[in-house]
Amino acid sequence: MSRKTMKRILVTGATGQIGSELTMELRKKYDGDNVVAAGHKRKPSEKLLESGPFEYVDITSKGNIEKVVKEYDIDTIYHLAAVLSATGEENPQLAWNVNINGLYNVLEVAREHDIRVFWPSSIAVFGPEAPRINTPQDTILIPRTIYGVTKVAGELLCNYYFTRFGLDVRSVRYPGIISSETPPGGGTTDYAVEIFYEAIRNRHYTCFVREDTVLPMMYMPDCINAALKLMEADSSQIKHRTSYNVNAMSFSAGELAAEIRKYIPEFKCEYEPDFRQKIADSWPMSIDDSVARREWGWNPKYDLASMTRDMIEKLKKRFAEGNF
Ligand code: AKB
């Protein structure tokens, strides 16, 4: 493939939970040299550094983003750098600055350089006024967290850039993401990942939400597939330029602990809810994603049982190899 037809991709937040795995997947698909990983605070892994270019980018600086875009002749950006819900409540000013000014800078650079953008929104756009079961694609959005506020504002900004400037920006509303490679940081749904690490390491976990807390979740392979599938879809299929609901599974913290106990029978989970309980209680318990299924063929593969089996297998292997 010539350089012109080959994609030249920038991934912001490439050292994060989703970014680290998405970058490796994109490098497999488009060659390492064509996928620039950009991080800021977290140290990049050896794997990330060895498999393609890495750049330090502060997304609150438009100049920083533009420099990398020009240097590598970028035509696609996966903009994942963000402050999540729990950290956002501890520092709302930081959440606004990173999530809103960062997205604005990316959209401006994309507009000026004719770049396709993927940006993740979240189930955090919904607040207590929205139906909590099978939350529809289009419904009332009055989030109670600053993270949710930045996601609603971000969705509107993306839609504006599409209708006003014709910018090809695409988005999904991710639920909690479960993965075995890079731990999440600062989210309300982080317990659904921590519980696996602690179950394998210590046979014990103190969960920061109640046992009966039900939230929508998704396993990393489906999370990556959602981004790739949406970005590969024909423009005419993408009727929603705010963001798409994407669902995979819903379970309570207690149901997750019970599923893990099938593999680690002595595992004990206790529940000590903290400030994150209130955030979880304001979010949907399940999501109606029929619009994404219909318009661009979204179809998740993993449920609670298959995700848990795979997580335990992968983490046990990593721990046995001393690789964590
Ligand atoms: C969080 O918990 O903040 C995120 C999310 C649901 O967007 N994982």
In terms of domains, do 192 and 73 share one? no
CATH number of the CATH domain containing 57: 3.40.50.720
4 in any annotated domain: no
CA distances from 202 to 45, 198, 241, 266 (A): 25, 5, 44, 10
**Residues 106, 82 share a domain:** yes
What is residue 1's predicted lDDT score, i.e. its pLDDT?
44
| Ligand 1 pocket, residue 195 CB under 6 Å | no
- Pocket of ligand 1 contains residue 148 by CB under 6 Å: no
Query: Strands 169-170 and 116-118, how do they pair?
Result: parallel
Question: Buried (b) or exposed (e) across 197-217, using 16+ Cβ within 10 A?
Answer: bbbbeeeebebbbbbebbbbb
The whole-angstrom distance between residue 167's C-alpha and the CA centroid of its chain comes to 21
Distance CA 320, CA 200 (A): 11
| 61 in the same domain as 33 | yes
Nearest CA owner, ligand 1 atom 8: 176
| Strands of 214-219's sheet in order across | 176-178, 214-219, 249-252
- What's the order of all strands across the beta sheet hosting 121-122? 121-122, 172-174, 244-245
**What's the start-to-end Cα distance of the chain, in Å?**
37
Residue 44 lies in a domain: yes
Q: Are residues 185 and 289 in the same domain?
A: yes
Both structure tokens of 324: 């964590």
Extract the tokens encoding 130: 């929205």
Q: Do 119 and 207 reside in the same domain of the chain?
A: no
Boundary-marking domain end, from 245, 263, 293: 245
Give how many domains the chain has, as a whole number.
2
- In a domain, residue 151? The reply is yes
Considering the domain architecture, whether residues 119 and 190 belong to the same structural domain is answered as no
Amino acid at 303: D
User: pLDDT tens digits for the chain (324 residues)?
Assistant: 444 456 899 999 999 999 999 999 999 999 999 999 999 988 999 999 999 999 999 999 999 999 999 999 999 999 999 999 999 999 999 999 999 999 999 999 999 999 999 999 999 999 999 999 999 999 999 999 999 999 999 999 999 999 999 999 999 999 999 999 999 989 999 999 999 999 999 999 999 999 999 999 999 999 999 999 999 999 999 999 999 999 999 999 999 999 999 999 999 999 999 999 999 999 999 999 999 999 999 999 999 999 999 999 999 999 888 876
Domain identity same for 159 and 190:
no
CA 323 to chain centre: 24
The boundaries of the domain holding residue 192 are 178-216+248-321
Phi, psi angles (nearest 5°) of residue 77? -120, 130
Q: Which atom of ligand 1 is nearest to the CA of 86?
A: 3
Residue 134 lies in a domain: no
Query: The tokens of 94 are what?
Result: 């930081």
Residue 50 covered by a domain: yes
Predicted pLDDT at 3: 43
Is residue 253 in a domain? yes
